[in-house]
Structure 1
Amino acid sequence: MAKNKGARIIITLECPCKNNNRTNQENNKRKKGIFRYTTSKNKRNNPSRLEIKKFCPYCNCHEMFKEIK
């Protein structure tokens, strides 16, 4: 029998920049859009929204990715 996952849920992390006002020459070569990561968290240990610093290939820098609904 399979065990149930318990308190772990799958969440989506989204870059807040959304390519707004990026003027570097390298960024002009990048495609536009919204980049998202998926991960899991324990909702008992972390009931609030999660924020993790990750690399965004669209804005070509490390940004604070925030959990979305």
Structure 2
Amino acid sequence: MNPDDLNKLVTVAMPFGKHKGTLIADLPGNYLNWFAREGFPKGEIGRLLALMQEMDHNGLKPLLDPLRRGARK
């Protein structure tokens, strides 16, 4: 994992699909789990989706709250 990836989760929006425009950190768990079953896209977006799915699955989403506050400044 790149150290910048956690910041990207709260600043990068989903570029395509049903949830286009939604921040990666705000994607619903069932959508992330669908990617986990069907396969993540290649490249950075796939890496970020996989990281977010892992965080969501393990109940670690609250760890992003301090980063969200920093992203709003």
Name the TM-score class by shorter chain: under 0.3
Structure number with greater Rg is 1
Judging by fraction of residues, say which structure has more strand: 1
Q: TM-score, normalised by structure 1?
A: 0.19
Q: TM-score, normalised by structure 2?
A: 0.18
